[in-house]
């Protein structure tokens, strides 16, 4: 049973509360930028009000099951609980300079006879953070083995998943392209999943607005959207998640649609296997590279490479793009190498 501290006026009340459990829930940790849920449940307590005190970067977003509440900068006092025995709330968070911080959250349950129960919680808020190490010498690609000397170092030194795409600047001599086999697989997969979801939206009309939105931005990638478009994407994604959580039949239909799409595209098993292999090797390092099979093309015997790294995380927060200075590559003419192999991920 959770420990609690009782500010007692009547000895009888202590005995009553000992027999009457209450639970204060707050997750022990969370990602900076995501919403944090919290709730208090109780039985057989005559609650007058509940005060919750918190600190930045926590900020109250919503409160549930209280018709009257007073919100100040770092506290909320909820009164007039609508359904006895429950109070819920949601905190929004924002990114801060520290990779990890621990914050206290204090709960005080005021009873109608003047007694109060206090509960203290802590939550750790963390974030991922990219660190890039440039090679001291030119990158060199061995012609026979494709072994890469002096790779670029990329590492997530924080906590939580980093989602990145590596691209070249327009003035880079070396270019990046997607292998034809992979292009064919992506094109076929997208066409098949669109067909499946279109049929599903005919059966579940509530899916149609999300389907229309997805089709309108099918040729775009999240990391290359404008800030306004990213916010719209997050709103649509939240709406879809809410819809799926409330309709099990629709969720089952969506899973089955993707399963059928994978079965239709089994002729591209090699391309899919390569993607999965790279994903599995990187996800243990808390990095998801969106274009692992894209290749760097060195047309002449050597050239310069100018890379840009686009970044987001699990809650699709905005990060500043990382633009690397020009790097020289030594290789045989028309050398192709997967961008994944150009990087030291350790």
Could you tell me the pLDDT band of residue 52, with boundaries at 50, 70 and 90?
Answer: very high
- CB 92, CB 61: distance < 8 Å: yes
pLDDT above 70 as % of the chain: 89
Question: What structural domains does the chain harbor?
Answer: 5-126 (2.60.40.2910), 130-344 (no CATH)
For residue 14, the model assigns a pLDDT of: 46
| 209-247: pLDDT as tens digits | 888 888 787 777 788 888 888 888 888 888 888 888 888
> How many helices (H) and strands (E) are present in the chain, helices listed first?
6, 25
Q: Give pLDDT, residue 280.
A: 67
What are the phi and psi torsion angles at 22 (to 5°)?
A: -140, 155
Q: Which residue has the higher pLDDT, 284 or 94?
A: 94
Beta carbons of 92 and 108 less than 8 angstroms apart: no
Nearest to 87 by CA among 96, 95, 77, 75: 77
CA distance linking residue 102 with residue 100, whole number of Å: 7
As a whole number, mean pLDDT of residues 319-345 equals 91
- pLDDT greater at residue 96 or residue 73: 96
Q: Is the pLDDT of residue 1 over 90?
A: no
State the maximum Cα–Cα separation within the chain, in Å, rounded to a whole number: 88
Under the phi-then-psi rule, with left for phi > 0, alpha for psi from -120 to 50, and beta for the rest, what region is 160?
left
Q: What is the average pLDDT across 145-166?
A: 93
| CB hemisphere CA count around 321 (13 angstroms) | 17
Give dist(CA 318, CA 312) in Å, integer: 6
pLDDT of residue 19: 54
Which segments of 20-128 are extended strands (E)?
22-25, 29-31, 36-42, 47-53, 59-64, 66-71, 75-81, 86-92, 100-111, 116-126
Using omega within 30 degrees of 0 as the cis cutoff, is the peptide bond preceding 280 cis? no
Q: What is the DSSP letter of 109?
A: E
pTM: 0.77
Q: Residues in the chain, how many?
A: 346
Convert the pLDDT of each residue in 159-208 to its tens digit. Answer: 999 999 999 998 899 999 988 877 887 788 888 888 888 899 889 999 88
Best-predicted range by mean pLDDT (42-46, 241-245, 284-288): 42-46
Residue 28 is encoded by which pair of tokens?
């022990």
Three-state secondary structure call for residue 236: helix
What the block records as the tokens of 221 is 């990638």
Mean pLDDT for the chain? 86
The answer for residues whose C-beta is within 8 angstroms of residue 258's C-beta and 6 or more apart is 193, 196
DSSP tag of 301: S
pLDDT category at 274 given cuts 50, 70, 90 is: low
Contact at 8 Å (CB) between 112 and 46? yes
Report the share of the chain in percent with pLDDT over 90: 48
């Amino acid at each position: 049973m959770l420990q609690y501290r009782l500010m007692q006026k009547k000895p009888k009340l202590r005995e009553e509360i000992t027999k009457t459990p209450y639970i204060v829930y707050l997750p022990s940790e969370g990602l900076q930028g995501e919403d944090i849920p919290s709730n208090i449940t109780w039985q057989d307590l005559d609650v007058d009000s509940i005060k919750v005190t918190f600190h930045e970067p926590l900020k109250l977003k919503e409160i549930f099951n209280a018709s009257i509440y007073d919100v100040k900068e770092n506290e909320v006092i909820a009164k007039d609980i609508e359904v006895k025995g429950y109070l819920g709330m949601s905190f929004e968070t924002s990114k801060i300079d520290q990779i990890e911080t621990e914050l206290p959250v204090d709960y005080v349950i005021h009873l109608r006879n003047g007694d109060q129960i206090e509960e203290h919680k802590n939550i750790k808020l963390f974030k991922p953070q990219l660190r890039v190490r440039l090679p001291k010498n030119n990158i060199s690609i061995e012609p026979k083995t494709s072994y890469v000397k002096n790779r670029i170092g990329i590492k997530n030194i924080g906590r939580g998943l980093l989602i990145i795409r590596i691209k070249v600047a327009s003035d880079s001599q070396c270019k990046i392209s997607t292998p034809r086999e992979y292009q064919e697989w992506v094109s076929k997969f997208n066409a098949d999943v669109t067909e499946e979801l279109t049929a599903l939206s005919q059966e579940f009309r509530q899916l149609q607005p999300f389907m229309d939105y997805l089709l309108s931005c099918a040729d775009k990638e999240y990391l290359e959207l404008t800030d306004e478009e990213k916010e719209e994407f997050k709103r649509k994604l939240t709406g879809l998640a809410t819809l799926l959580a409330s309709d099990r039949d629709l969720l089952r239909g969506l899973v089955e649609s993707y399963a059928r799409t994978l079965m239709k595209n089994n002729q591209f098993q090699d391309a899919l296997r390569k993607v999965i292999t790279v994903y599995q090797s990187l996800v243990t390092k808390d990095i998801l590279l969106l274009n692992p099979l894209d290749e760097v093309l060195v047309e002449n015997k050597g050239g310069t490479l100018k890379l840009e790294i686009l970044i987001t995380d699990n809650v699709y927060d905005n990060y500043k793009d990382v633009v690397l200075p020009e790097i020289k590559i030594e290789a045989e003419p028309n050398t192709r190498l997967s961008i994944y192999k150009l990087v030291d991920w350790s």
